Amino acid sequence: MRSALILSCHHCGALYDRPALEPGQWARCVRCDEVLENGGLFNAQAWLAVVLAAIVTFGVANVFPVATLEFQGSGQATTFLGAVQATLDAGYWEVALLTGLVGFGLPLFKLVLLALLFIPIACQRVPFYFEIVLRLLGWVRPWCMVPVFLLGSLVAIVKLVDLAQLTVGLGLYATAASAVFFTALSRLTPSKIRYLVLDADLVVMSPQPEPAPSPSCLPKAWALLLAAAILYIPANALPVMTITAISGSSGHTILGGVIELAQMGSWDIAAVVFIASVFVPIFKILLLGTLLWLTQQRSARGLKRRTRLYRLVEAIGQWSMLDVFVVILLVSLGQFGRLLDIEPGAGAVAFGAVVVLTMLCAMTFDSRLAWRWAGYRRQVVKPDVAALPVT
């Protein structure tokens, strides 16, 4: 049955007869080097155990406090949802809605969808809603940012540790465990789940090649990229948060936060924030613009290298949300009336919009279009080097 199935490369459009893979092997596209499939060790029962563990740790992470800050005899504890509520109370519903969705709502939705799939599949049944859930998983998968929130929590702790006494809560440890499980579950693409079910000799629809790429993706991607480039200016010029203390009030921009971390001696954290919040957005905007322009020019130059760069943009897109998570945590922990008050700024709204728009731009652009206009057509082949052992 395996040999009759077709693997389709999402990035260049090439089609392959699916090879038989052993655990520790992978199938790679010989045209663009995209990994098409991994030979995994986990069956449906094992994946169900990972899903259930993720549900438990994710629940604990959102019930117990991430951290507690004590300042001048007063204490302030926060959970992730508490941070979202504090941001909403401050009047920045856009930031609260975005962080609430990508840090809680959509990750929870993904876990529910996976549980609805793998509970019956582990019992050797295919649910009637199988195709609907796979489609929903494909939409929600890029927007689950629990690992990004974990890193944002660590950055927020570093920023506050010299300001007052800070105690790490059980919620942070549970978030770390949850991030590990979400990283593992990120490998469960809709196509991988379909092949997992087919390999278990259950009856589902065979995978179908994606429709041919449409040139209409280019103007949509250009519009999203232009909007992101425009908003990137206020995202860096306006403060992402304002800190008010007895000594006075001060606004903090993204770059100012990086400089502050460096002055505190936390060069490693400063480097992480600079890469995620300054370098990555600029890199994405410039690289996506280059890819769109070369595709529009029907250039065949460096197609494989361009495809690798596009995969990189897809992979790093969500990590720019780091600073937005840092802001909502600081807002939630820094509520001590006249002694200390931290509020979000307009820069956080603009920066969150930049992250979303660049991610949507990368999703809208179809890298297969560049290969198609360069003369490459879809055809089923039997690659002799598609299945390679892990070294």
Given a cut of 50, whether residue 212 has pLDDT beyond it is yes
DSSP 20-89: P--TTEEEE-TTT--EEEE--S--HHHHHHHHHHHHHHHHHHHHS-SEEEEETTEEEEE-HHHHHHHHHH
- For residues 239-243, average pLDDT: 80
High-pLDDT (> 70) share of the chain, %:
88
Given a cut of 80, whether residue 275 has pLDDT beyond it is yes
* Residue 109 exposed, middle or buried by CB count within 10 Å (0-12, 13-18, 19+): middle
Is the pTM higher than 0.85? The answer reads: yes
Q: pLDDT, tens digit, for every residue of 32-65?
A: 888 888 877 788 999 999 999 999 999 999 999 9
Starting from the edge strand earliest in sequence, which strands make up the sheet with 74-78, in order? 74-78, 67-71, 165-168
d(CA 80, CA 59): 11
Q: pLDDT, tens digit, for every residue of 129-187?
A: 999 999 999 999 999 999 999 988 888 887 777 666 778 889 999 999 999 999 999 98
The average confidence (pLDDT) of the chain is 85
**pLDDT band for position 340 (cuts 50, 70, 90):** low
115 and 54 in contact (C-beta within 8 Å)?
no
Given a cut of 50, whether residue 2 has pLDDT beyond it is no
